[in-house]
Amino acid sequence: MIRADSLTPLTGEPRQTTILGFDTEDDSKGRVLRLCFYDGERGLHFTRPRDAISWLASLHGRGDVFIWATNLEYDLVNLTRDGGLGLFDIGYSNGSGRIIWARVRGTRVRLTDTLNVYKASVAQLGDMIGLPKLPFDPESAEYCERDAAISQRAMALLDLELRSIGTSLRLTAGSISLDLWRRRYQREPIARLPDDAIAWLRQAVFGGRTEIFKTYAQNLTYYDVNSLYPSCMLDAYPNVNTFEPWRKSSDIDKPGIVECEVKTRGDTQFPVLPWKRPNDGKLLFPVGTYSGRWTTVELRRAISRGAKITKIIGGVQYQEIGHYFDEYVKKLYSMRPRDGGPRDVVLKLLLNNLWGKFGQRNETGVLVPLEKATQPVEGKRVFQGHVFETRIGDWPVHANQVWAAWTTATARVKMHAWLEKSIDAGFSPVYMDTDSLILSGQGSLPESKELGGLKCEGRYTSGTFLLPKVYSLTDKEGTKFVAKGIPQAQAGSFLETGLANWMAPYRLKERPEEANVWRQKHRRLVSQYDKRTVNLDGSTIPLKIERPYDRGF
């Protein structure tokens, strides 16, 4: 049964918020030097954290106050260095483990992180808005105030841009996107499904395809797809209001999600269906026999490429489809100046972050006092009498899951089509990463500035691929190193020697008693590529899975 509550269009004006900036400086050994709040005109400076906390408490009664820091966790640790953590309700991301907001208890004052919206450092934000970061000087009040001012002005400018198109600043890029869609583009209520149905559908949500097809290749062309996920949102989506649960013999010609057992031919070079390996959760695209839950859009593609459904376990169908995001995507894409400036960045954020809200989980990360912990605390790290805890709550009203599953499945199908087109064009696929392809050979693919079109990002004489998101590309100007999670300055050493060393602070969850104390961090390259079988010549072939009873989710 579909529940009575639903996701409805929003009316009225977007809410008003006071926007402040916040920054702290320390000696890298745990001693706080300065704290600064910036209100858009001037900075308010403190040298003692407890005085800054007292001032924060004085903001009670001023309505919604957002205080933006870049890398909030670091500044919150400095703010509560002398105690006071218990004055805040704190939420963190289960995915990244990063603190994303802290509310002064009993008030509408929130500290939050610019990284929730812009994936950019203070220096990058400053360059974007024309307010450059000053040379490093943690003893300087001017230096601290400049960082706080950059965070404040970047978010204040964002708020102005958002209000011009019908929404306002919220805590994350996803929540901003959803607010805009509901206010300006949602045309009818969207039913909320039962919790067990949402949980079932969640297992059909998979991420992007990232695979190595050759560990080394020459004569490379790097293509990127223009706004892949927004382009997928132009397609028809299942009408959530026509949900039909648990049909034993699901019809894959209808929109829906099917749990089934499939057999993919062993000679398939680029299998269609994703499957999560149970022991490590890695997303594979194997041959053989295996079970899972997949959208009918991806199942149809797989069957057209030789796969067979050997057993249907169950499924969910929708009797109607609709175009729910056409206007949203086309309008915002047409408004993009494509110059990398603030407005362009804002519109790109809104385009790329809406779909993910429909796949939001029902898990909430919180930092709670020991006496309020609801889970065993043995073995957990304690910070000022608090521990991190993951709590399971109600599914958000917008989290129907099927729209997120549909978006990512459509994206993988589109990328699979580009794989096949590249071969027809005379290329040999070398590497794929969600919305990009690196190809070898003398071929050529048509380029376009349209949504979903290809854009050539560069040509390279050779490339070496060690792991997903760990590779190097060489051209006549030198070698570009990519290593996710490694500072750019150390990426070359990491790929060439298998070792990277850099200075970094201890994270709160890592070592709370030494949080923000800087130390030498080491990372070794010990993993080997195991998402496909690597041949002696460096080419790869799909793994073979014969586990029909292990569901890939």
Read off the pLDDT of residues 471-490 as tens digits, 9 standing for 90 and up: 999 999 999 999 999 999 99
Q: What is the pLDDT of residue 248?
A: 60
pLDDT band per the 50, 70, 90 thresholds, residue 95: confident
Confidence band (pLDDT; 50, 70, 90) for 244?
Answer: confident
Structure confidence by residue, pLDDT tens digits, 488-501: 999 999 999 999 99
The domain spanning residue 150 has which CATH number? Answer: 3.30.420.10
pLDDT, residue 333, reads 95
The residues facing 70 across adjacent strands are none
| Other residues' Cβ atoms within 10 Å of the Cβ of residue 205 | 23
Please give the order of strands across the beta sheet that includes 88-92.
Answer: 43-46, 32-38, 18-26, 65-69, 109-113, 99-104, 88-92, 363-369, 386-392
Residue 468 has pLDDT above 60, yes or no: yes
pLDDT of residue 250: 60
62 close to 18: Cβ distance less than 8 angstroms? yes
| The pLDDT value given to residue 381 | 86
Q: Residue 76 domain-assigned?
A: yes
The predicted pLDDT at position 549 comes to 56
Q: Do the domain assignments include residue 200?
A: no
pLDDT digits (tens, 9 = 90+) for 293-341: 999 999 999 999 999 999 998 899 998 899 999 999 999 999 999 888 8
CA distance 196 to 314: 14
Name the helix (H) or strand (E) containing 212.
Answer: strand 210-212
**Percentage with pLDDT > 90 across the chain:** 84
106-126 residue pLDDT tens:
999 999 999 999 999 999 999
What distance in Å separates the CA atoms of residue 230 and residue 414, rounded to the nearest whole number?
12
Structural domain total, the chain: 1
For 329-370, write each residue's pLDDT tens digit. 999 999 999 888 888 999 999 999 999 999 999 998 999 899
- Please report whether residue 300 resides in a domain: no
136 has a pLDDT exceeding 80: yes
**Could you give the count of Cα atoms lying within 13 Å of 285 in the half-sphere of its Cβ?**
23
- Domain of residue 136: give its range: 18-171
Closest CA to 374 of 394, 395, 396, 392: 392
Residue 380 contacts by C-beta under 8 Å, 6 or more apart in sequence? Answer: 387, 388
Q: How many CB atoms lie within 10 A of CB 378?
A: 5
- Find the mean pLDDT for residues 170-186: 96
Q: What is the pLDDT of residue 550?
A: 62
244's CB contacts (< 8 A; 6+ apart) are 256, 316, 317, 318, 319
pLDDT-based confidence at residue 378 (cuts at 50, 70, 90): confident
pLDDT value of position 421: 97
The CA-based dihedral angle spanning residues 543, 547, 549, 551, taken in that order and rounded to the nearest 10 degrees: -10
- Percent of the chain predicted with pLDDT > 70: 97
Does residue 343 belong to any structural domain of this protein?
A: no
Find all residues with CB under 8 Å of 346, minimum gap 6, and list them: 158, 161, 162
- 145 falls within a domain: yes
Assigned domain for 68 exists: yes
Give the residue among 398, 477, 507, 473 at the shortest CA–CA distance from 174: 398
Burial call 409-439: b when 16+ CB within 10 Å, e when fewer: bbbbbbbbebbeebbeeebebbbbbbbbbbb
**Mean pLDDT of the chain, nearest integer:** 94
Specify the pTM.
Answer: 0.94
What is the CA 43 to chain-centroid distance, rounded?
Answer: 33
Give the CA angle between residues 61, 66, 72 to the nearest 5°: 130
pLDDT at residue 469 is higher than 60: yes
Q: What is the pLDDT of residue 407?
A: 98
The answer to whether residue 27 sits within a structural domain is yes
In a domain, 154, yes or no: yes
